[in-house]
Amino acid sequence: MSATNATALTVWCNAQFPEAPMRELREGLGQHRLLLPAVRNTVNLAPGVPDPLLAEADIAFGQPDPQQVIQLERLKWVHLTTAGYTRYDIEPVRSALKRRGAVLTNSSMVYEEPCAEHILAMMLALARQLPACWADQATTRPWRAAEHRGHSRLLQRQTALLLGLGAIARRLAEMLQPFGINLLAIKRTITGTEPVRAFPFSRLGELVPQADHVIDILPANASTERLFNAELIARMKPTAIFYNIGRGTTVDQAALQSALESHRIAGAYLDVTDLEPLPPDHPLWRLPNCWITPHTAGGHQYEFERLVRHFLANLRRFEQRRDLLDRIV
């Protein structure tokens, strides 16, 4: 990095933040110049479009066009407003950034807490039969106390298998440990420093039958495409629940639907689907053992303020030539 405290930088941002976080961004940049393109993203997951202003920037904050990231030699650092980085997880982007000594970071630290809380909330709700009780209240309001009590479960002594062990999974593991749940995880590279018992992907087939909760927090890339397939779903316990807050393409959705329809597994909770928005007439919406939220796991009241503050904290580190938070490349 060539940035120092005395160097004025040009920061390009294509995120359409509300007024308060945008003001915080402007003030936090200090001497640095801010460029705002004519077209800005109101939704984090939307891809950025090519923008001529990006050629003037030292830093990109938001979702820049990947081809421009490859081509623009001036660009020293790209900071994404998402935890996911599928569009940039390609060899041409990685090679271009490495060749010119540039850096790619994301916003995992902004989303680890809400995503982990989201999964924990659903695990507890399903264990305590809350969706079933709410369904009763929304329909004929039967008083099925004995039935719901009998189906209620404790997380204690159950087993959760985490597919992936990034920032979100690690925070979820911290939250789950006080419940006395048995935690397992798979990850690509085992270092021996993992906070839970971790295994390579090659062991996935033997771990799935042990799990009461299979929790998919995988990113979308070529290696995870339909990774959780019909064979693995068939290995799940009949009483197990599948959760996905990673990416919809990491699971064979048709195979999952079939398992739910035949009650081969107890249920599924999906915050992401393999086509978003999920069409209103899709069969998954109507299955009584499938619960869906519209990709809201990372949302929270101060999401935009936290995105800006995370970027500004990293900017201070960039100025001081310190290691950046949430570094990918």
Can you give the length of the chain in residues? 329
Nearest to 54 by CA among 76, 82, 27: 76
DSSP H or E run through 186? strand 182-186
pLDDT at residue 5 above 60?
no
- Distance separating alpha carbons of residues 102 and 79, to the nearest angstrom: 11
Give SS3 for 267.
Answer: strand
Do the Cβ atoms of 271 and 250 come closer than 8 Å?
no
- Distance separating alpha carbons of residues 185 and 38, to the nearest angstrom: 44
- Return the pLDDT at 4: 44
Topology, domain 10-106+301-319: Rossmann fold (3.40.50)
Nearest to 243 by CA among 218, 214, 207: 214
CATH number for the domain running over 112-292: 3.40.50.720
Q: Percent of the chain at pLDDT above 90?
A: 95
Amino acid at 305: E
- Distance separating alpha carbons of residues 55 and 16, to the nearest angstrom: 20
Cis peptide before 277 (omega within 30 of 0): yes
For the stretch 92-145, pLDDT in tens is 999 999 999 999 999 999 999 999 999 999 999 999 999 999 999 999 999 999
- Distance separating alpha carbons of residues 236 and 219, to the nearest angstrom: 21
pLDDT at residue 3 above 60?
no
Q: What is the mean pLDDT of residues 61-78?
A: 98
Q: What is the mean pLDDT of residues 46-56?
A: 93
For the stretch 169-195, pLDDT in tens is 999 999 999 999 999 999 999 999 999
- Distance separating alpha carbons of residues 145 and 155, to the nearest angstrom: 20
For the stretch 195-245, pLDDT in tens is 999 999 999 999 999 999 999 999 999 999 999 999 999 999 999 999 999
Residue limits of CATH 3.40.50.720 in the chain: 10-106+301-319, 112-292
- Distance separating alpha carbons of residues 77 and 1, to the nearest angstrom: 9
